[in-house]
Amino acid sequence: MPPTRSSFTGGRSTRRQFLKGSAAALTSSILSSCGWTLANVRTSVQTASDILYIYTWAGYTDRELLDLFYKETKIRVVADVFSSNEEMLAKVQAGAGGAYSVIYPSDYMVRQQIDLNMLMEIDKSRLQGLDRLFPQFQSPIYDRDNRYSIPLSWGTTGLVYNTTVLDPPPDDWDYLWANRRQLAKRMTLLNDQREVFGAALRTLGYSYNSTDLEEIRAAYEKLLQLKPAIAAFNSDAWRSQILTGDLKIAMCYSSDANEVIQENSDLAYALPRSGSSIWMDTLVIPRTAPNIEGAYAWLNFMLRPEIAARTCERLSFATPNAKAFDLLPPEVQTNTSLFPPESALEKSESLEPMPPDIGEIYNRYWTKLTSG
């Protein structure tokens, strides 16, 4: 059975953006339990074998996870959080990431970091459990044979909507354009350049990863048609707005949709039938890792089915671990928000890094679209 999205509980920030208060609370909780502060991470590189610094998305760790790891290994984990792949990359490139022994980049960022020679090739003889991954995650396009990364969580991008006010319900991206008068100022798009342009490209029959200048221009013009109806470009504020009824529909990540649906049963998630993005977050060991032994201990810990399943349920993201999937309750396994059937994923794509010149064109159009 293919990995799909599941309905889990456990509040956390969006996977790519987070509210400063919740991130601070998460980090404070983790560090206070470990007896360290973020100042240790940012001002000195600790090399003790009983300390492991990780750089992760907000919401990807909790006290239970870290306490269990410490109980088993006597290694204390200190977690710092980032809000975007680009933020993480900039910090590591600036030399401020030398303390980290494990980092959590997304799929396209793994490829970019490989090209920048920033990652250590994984010694698979030191890992147990790679064969527990679903086949499609054992040699992903962004890192063939998992030479540098271990898949941790995955999801899709789609539409969360209020079933009581939208009839018929959305089933594709073009629903936004066809119903833009009804949805005027009651819909939001992600504050994510690649995802928003990807959705417009798919409505035109093009790839989410198009590098064709005319196709990109056509997507921009398509988005201009929709702009007057868009309430905002945001990746988090939509949650409270759709719960209060201020929004009818929002573009979002499946893991976030899964959480908000637990708060209001009138909400549902639609994966666009013309295709969307399939994202993957991973575990990597940077070449500058000061605690390689601790890093492998963490990777093996996260590959264990019972750990992956429990983390999946508590923190609300889909696992690529087939053995962990088998341990999940039936209501989680059959939740199509997190674990859609393979047929629903056939036209979806993983985001790929853009050549710098093409990236600049996307940036220019994005600035024009979101300003004014």
Amino acid letter for position 331: E
269 and 130, same structural domain? no
User: pTM above 0.85?
Assistant: no
Question: What does the pLDDT read at residue 47?
Answer: 56
For the chain, the average pLDDT equals 86
Question: Tens of pLDDT along 231-272?
Answer: 999 888 899 999 999 999 999 989 889 889 989 999 999 999
255 and 290, same structural domain? no
| 326 located within any domain | yes
Question: What does the pLDDT read at residue 49?
Answer: 84
319 and 195, same structural domain? no
Question: What does the pLDDT read at residue 151?
Answer: 95
242 and 173, same structural domain? yes
| 11 located within any domain | no
Question: What does the pLDDT read at residue 350?
Answer: 86
80 and 160, same structural domain? no
35 and 170, same structural domain? no
| 98 located within any domain | yes
| 311 located within any domain | yes
Kindly report the three-state secondary structure assignment for every residue of the chain.
CCCCECCCCCCCCCCCCCCHHHHHHHHHHHHHHHCCCHHHHHHCCCCCCCEEEEEEECCCCCHHHHHHHHHHHCCEEEEEEECCHHHHHHHHHCCCCCCCCEECCEHHHHHHHHHCCCECCCCHHHCCCHHHECHHHCCCCCCHHHCCEEEEEEEEEEEEEECCCCCCCCCCCHHHHHCCCCCCCCEEECCCHHHHHHHHHHHCCCCCCCCCHHHHHHHHHHHHHHHHHEEEECCCCHHHHHHHCCCCEEEEEHHHHHHHHCCCCCEEEECCCCCCEEEEEEEECECCCCCHHHHHHHHHHHHCHHHHHHHHHHHCCECCEHHHHHHCCHHHHCCCCECCCHHHHCCCECCCCCCHHHHHHHHHHHHHHHCC
- Residue 302 belongs to domain with CATH number: 3.40.190.10
Question: What does the pLDDT read at residue 312?
Answer: 84
Q: Whole domain around residue 250: which residue ranges?
A: 156-276+352-370
Question: Tens of pLDDT along 349-361?
Answer: 988 888 889 989 9
Q: In percent, how much of the chain has pLDDT > 90?
A: 65
42 and 63, same structural domain? yes
Residues of the chain with pLDDT under 70: 1-47, 372
Question: What does the pLDDT read at residue 313?
Answer: 84
| 13 located within any domain | no
28 and 149, same structural domain? yes
116 and 211, same structural domain? no
| 42 located within any domain | yes
79 and 43, same structural domain? yes
Question: What does the pLDDT read at residue 316?
Answer: 76
| 1 located within any domain | no
- Number of domains within the chain: 2
283 and 146, same structural domain? yes
| 2 located within any domain | no
134 and 58, same structural domain? yes
